[in-house]
């Protein structure tokens, strides 16, 4: 049976993240794979930059610090060493693809919500990650 060696797991740090990591770990089979986790922080300026004349750097630093602590706790709880925990600023799809390439990941694992109506039209991170990925992608159904 084919097993993966280098697994990149995208986590939004919601409660669903544990489910996503557990499914990802199972992909490594008995030999165990090297798991990496990534959390991407979207700069506030992406959302508000053009509209509100305000300096976001203080709030952005605070968000970064809190997310880093959360990711560290999450990594610890799931036996993923600090060297394999990645926190990056940018657009989730773009940064996930970039790190997958850098790490030569053979699979990216993301959570996927069942969507309908307007949310479906707006798309999801799982969709964005699938398009343009140069390795396998596993979308784990979450939020049921």
Contacts for 124 with CB less than 8 Å, ≥ 6 apart: 112, 113, 115
39 binds ligand AMP (CB under 6 A): yes
- Between 28 and 43, name the residue whose CB sits nearer to ligand AMP: 43
Q: Are 97 and 105 in contact (CB under 8 A)?
A: no
Minimum distance from residue 7 beta carbon to ligand AMP (Å) = 13
10 binds ligand AMP (CB under 6 A): yes
The closest residue (CB) to ligand AMP is 111
Provide the edge-to-edge strand list for the sheet that holds 107-113: 85-89, 34-41, 6-10, 107-113, 136-142
- Between 33 and 93, name the residue whose CB sits nearer to ligand AMP: 93
Q: Which strand (E) or helix (H) includes residue 142?
A: strand 136-142
Q: Please name the residue that has the structure tokens 């398009």.
A: 131
DSSP 106: S
Binding mask 84-123 for ligand AMP (x = CB under 6 A): --------x-----------------xx-x----------
Q: Which residues bind ligand AMP (CB under 6 A)?
A: 10-12, 16, 20, 38-40, 92, 110-111, 113, 124-126, 142
């Amino acid at each position: 049976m084919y097993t993966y060696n280098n697994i990149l797991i995208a986590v939004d740090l919601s409660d669903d993240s544990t489910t996503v990591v557990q499914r990802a770990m199972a992909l490594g089979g008995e030999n165990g794979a090297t798991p990496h986790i990534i959390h991407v922080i979207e700069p506030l300026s992406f959302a508000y930059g053009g509209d509100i004349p305000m300096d976001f750097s203080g709030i952005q630093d605070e968000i970064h610090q809190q997310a880093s602590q959360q990711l560290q706790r999450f990594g610890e709880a799931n036996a993923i060493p600090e060297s394999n925990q990645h926190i990056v600023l940018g657009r989730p799809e773009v940064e996930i693809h970039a790190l997958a390439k850098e790490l030569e990941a053979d699979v990216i694992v993301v959570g996927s919500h069942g969507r309908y109506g307007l949310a479906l039209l707006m798309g999801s991170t799982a969709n964005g990650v699938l398009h343009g990925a140069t390795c396998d992608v596993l979308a784990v159904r979450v939020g049921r």
